[in-house]
């Protein structure tokens, strides 16, 4: 378990260092994710059900929502500035998020049907 957690942190650390060293616009953890992904392609056994890495990752991802709570509480500080700019910002947020969801999913489905890649068979 500790080795698995260390591996996750090490990937992040290398990612953070790489992002700073090469001035990349990508955050360290995202580079870390890519590194770990490459590692798993080479050693798939580490990702198998019951492996320590799979268990640690499972716990973290099962409660991904919890990890956003502190940042979420942070919006309280700026709630005033959201309202201060009138309805424009709020309307833009709501409409744009709905549009983005719809366009992304519809384009995905249409193109998938065109190239005839089979959709997932889960109900």
- Shortest reach from residue 70's CB to another protein, in Å: 4
Is residue 45 near another protein by the rule CB under 8 A?
Answer: no
Q: Enter the DSSP assignment of 48.
A: S
Is residue 3 near another protein by the rule CB under 8 A?
Answer: no
d(CA 39, CA 15): 14
**Token pair of 32 as six digits:** 């870390």
Instruction: Report the 10 Å Cβ neighbour count for 32.
Output: 22
Question: Hey, which residues between 59 and 88 contact another protein (CB under 8 A)?
Answer: 60-79, 81-82, 85-88
Is residue 1 near another protein by the rule CB under 8 A?
Answer: no
Q: Enter the DSSP assignment of 49.
A: T
Q: Which of 17, 20, 83, 96 binds another protein (CB under 8 A)?
A: 96
């Amino acid at each position: 378990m500790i080795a698995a957690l260390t591996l996750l942190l090490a990937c992040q650390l290398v990612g953070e260092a790489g992002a700073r060293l090469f001035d990349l616009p990508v955050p360290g953890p995202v580079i870390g994710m890519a590194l770990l992904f490459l590692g798993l392609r080479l050693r798939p056994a580490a990702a198998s059900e019951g492996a320590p890495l799979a268990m640690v990752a499972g716990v973290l991802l099962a409660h991904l929502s919890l990890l956003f709570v502190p940042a979420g509480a942070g919006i309280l500080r700026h709630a005033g500035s959201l309202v201060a700019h009138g309805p424009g910002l709020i309307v833009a947020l709501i409409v744009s998020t709905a549009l983005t969801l719809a366009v992304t999913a519809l384009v995905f489905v249409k193109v998938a049907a065109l190239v005839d890649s089979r959709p997932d068979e889960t109900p």
